Every structure is written in structure tokens, then in C-alpha cells.
């Protein structure tokens, strides 16, 4: 990853193709396998993994990512001598199995058929516990709903929290939710997602038109005392993305926490419960609860 990129998600996106397409491009050149340095910035013993692709028309070769510390060792060996590298891997493709989204809601008092969806995904990449990706996103939204319910808040629109399945490997949870919601006759008016870790909140991005960007930016003075300062056009999230196809014009809001430490844990064995800071997690819960409240009070679709 390019350390000059201040936003680590941009750095990750800039080098993702090394892993994603590495096996395809290497096989085209006659390679018998491909090994890459993990894409994260920290130098440690935790290999960072994630999705990669094959093409049926191109020979499938083994592909793996080394932890950055091990990659440095291998690189040093290669500078001084020939190296023999052996793979021992047990990757498998399993058939699809049934899984479920988890849904809860506060029914709207004035417009119950108009839905504000917010949530994160339940599944995780297999090498860690998925604490930051996306256990914290699930807790952000669960706690946001609990706060509003505890305050005995009566929303105008229905507030629906969704914990999505299968974000990591196909997004069937997000796709199925969008189809299910449309078939029920719901009117989705906004969606919020938390899937960038449980670090200190910095603001929200919006995938939507100028009307909704202006609405989001009108909230900025309310959040400023809490050091939330990002209110820009950007990305909503994988899980809520399919709602755009089913509900034309819906604005998607993506929670933006501080990104500097996210790739210390993302898709790695280090993504465990102990890596989550309680205070930062609570601040994120409060930020999302506040945004959902403000959307319910102010949004018109």
C-alpha cells in the first residue's frame, strides 16, 4: 500500500488488483504459482488476505499472501541467493448453504411504509474473528437502535436495522434484502452502513444527489463539537448498495471512522475483540444513532 495516501482505503484500492488479479496475470506469463506481500502497512506476522479471481479459460495456479514480516525475509533471501519455495495449501470451494439476515425495527408513527435502513454485516473473513470487519458495524447499529428505543423515541419513519449475511463472499445478504424489501411494497428513503471499523468517528460520506449532500452538510455544525468533520460525496457500502437498483434515487450514507489503523486488522488474524477500543466504539454508536435521528426528523424522499 502507498504510505503517502492519507486515506488508507484509497491506498488499499490502489493495490488491490495485485491480489485480485495476480493469479490470472501470472498464469498468462507461464507462472506455476504466485506469492505476494500482504497489502497492509504494518510489518507483522499476520497475513492479510481477501478476495481474488480466476478465469475458466486460464490455468488456475496456487496463490497466497505472505505476512509482511515474512515477505521482508523472503525478499532479503532473494537478493543473496536462489530460493526454493513450496506451497502447502488446503483451500476448498464448498456448496452454497442457507444463511439469514437479522432484522429489527421501530415502526414509524407517521409514515410506517417509509424505511430508513441501517446496518452492518454478520459474516467475516475466515482468518480472524471479524471484530472490526464487521462486528463493530453490527454493534454500532444495534446500539443506535437501542439508544433511540431507550429514549422512548417515536420515529416518523420506520427505522430498520439489518445485520447482513454474506458480504464477504458475494453480497447475497444485501441483494436479497433489497429484493425482499421491494416485494413487500416498502418505500426505502435512506440507508446507512458501518463497515470501516470501530475507530473514532470522523463523519459520513454520501452516495446521492445534491439535495441529500446539502442535507448531510447541514448536519455538520451539530457534529462539529464531537470532532466529526467529514461530510462529503463518497461511498455508502457494499450491503446497502443493491438498494440503489431497487429504489431509484435513494441516498446511501457511509460511516467514516479514522482509517489509519484499519488495515492493521482487516482480513487478518489480528482482527479480534481485544483490538477494539471501547470508547471509540461507543463514540461510533452515538454518531450513527445521531445521524439516524436527524435523517428521520429532516429527510424527504
* Per-residue pLDDT reduced to its tens digit, 227-259: 999 999 999 999 999 999 999 999 999 999 999
CB 101 within 8 A of CB 121: no
Cα atoms in the Cβ-side hemisphere of radius 13 Å centred on 273: 1
The tens digit of pLDDT for each residue in 122-179 reads: 999 988 899 999 999 999 999 999 999 999 999 999 999 999 999 998 999 999 999 9
In this predicted structure, what is the pLDDT of residue 154? Answer: 97
pLDDT of residue 278: 98
At residue 92 the predicted structure's pLDDT band, cuts being 50, 70 and 90, is confident
Active-site annotation, residues: 167
Residue 255 has a pLDDT of 98
Enumerate the H helices of 184-269 as residue ranges. 210-218, 220-223, 243-246
Read off the pLDDT of each residue in 76-84 and give the average, rounded to a whole number.
92
Question: Does the structural domain 8-80 have CATH classification 3.40.350.10?
Answer: no
pLDDT digits (tens, 9 = 90+) for 189-242: 999 999 999 999 999 999 999 999 999 999 999 999 999 999 999 999 999 999
Please determine whether the domains at 8-80 and 102-298 fall in the same fold group of CATH. Answer: no
Q: Are 189 and 146 in contact (CB under 8 A)?
A: no
Looking at residue 87, its pLDDT comes to 87
Compute the distance between CA of residue 120 and CA of residue 100 in angstroms, rounded to an integer.
Answer: 13
Q: Over pLDDT 70: what percentage of the chain?
A: 100
> What pLDDT score does 301 carry?
80
What pLDDT was estimated at residue 91?
85
Domain residue ranges of the chain, discontinuous segments joined by +:
8-80, 102-298
* Mean of all residue pLDDT scores within the chain: 96
Per the CB < 8 A criterion, the answer to whether 255 and 223 are in contact is: no
Domain covering 102-298, topology: Aminopeptidase (3.40.630)
Q: What pLDDT, on a 0 to 100 scale, did the predictor assign at position 272?
A: 96
- Model pLDDT, residue 262: 96
Amino acid at each position: 500500500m502507498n504510505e503517502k495516501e492519507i486515506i488508507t482505503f484509497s491506498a488499499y484500492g490502489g493495490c488491490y488488483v495485485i491480489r485480485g488479479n495476480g493469479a490470472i496475470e501470472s498464469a498468462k506469463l507461464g507462472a506455476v504459482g504466485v506469492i505476494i506481500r500482504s497489502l497492509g502497512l504494518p510489518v507483522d506476522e499476520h497475513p492479510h488476505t481477501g478476495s481474488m479471481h480466476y478465469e475458466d479459460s486460464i490455468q488456475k495456479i496456487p496463490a497466497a499472501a505472505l505476512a509482511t514480516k515474512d515477505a521482508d525475509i523472503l525478499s532479503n533471501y532473494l537478493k543473496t541467493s536462489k530460493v526454493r519455495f513450496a506451497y502447502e495449501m488446503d483451500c476448498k470451494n464448498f456448496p452454497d448453504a442457507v444463511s439469514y439476515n437479522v432484522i429489527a425495527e421501530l415502526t414509524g408513527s407517521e409514515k410506517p411504509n417509509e424505511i430508513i435502513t441501517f446496518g452492518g454485516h454478520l459474516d467475516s473473513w475466515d482468518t480472524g474473528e471479524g471484530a472490526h470487519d464487521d462486528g463493530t458495524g453490527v454493534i454500532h447499529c444495534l446500539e443506535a437502535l437501542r439508544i433511540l428505543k431507550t429514549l422512548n423515541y417515536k420515529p416518523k419513519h420506520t427505522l430498520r436495522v439489518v445485520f447482513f449475511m454474506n458480504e464477504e463472499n458475494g453480497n447475497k445478504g444485501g441483494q436479497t434484502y433489497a429484493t425482499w424489501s421491494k416485494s413487500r411494497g416498502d418505500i426505502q428513503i435512506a440507508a446507512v452502513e458501518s463497515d470501516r471499523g470501530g475507530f473514532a468517528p470522523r463523519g459520513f460520506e454520501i452516495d446521492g444527489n445534491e439535495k441529500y449532500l446539502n442535507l448531510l452538510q447541514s448536519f455538520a455544525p451539530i457534529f462539529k463539537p464531537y470532532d466529526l468533520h467529514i461530510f462529503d460525496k463518497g461511498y455508502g457500502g457494499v450491503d446497502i448498495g443493491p438498494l440503489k437498483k431497487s429504489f431509484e434515487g435513494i441516498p446511501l450514507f457511509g460511516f467514516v471512522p479514522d482509517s489509519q489503523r484499519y488495515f492493521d486488522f482487516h482480513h487478518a488474524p489480528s482482527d479480534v475483540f481485544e483490538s477494539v477500543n471501547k470508547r471509540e466504539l461507543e463514540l461510533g454508536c452515538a454518531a450513527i444513532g445521531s445521524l439516524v435521528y436527524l435523517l428521520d426528523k429532516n429527510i424527504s424522499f
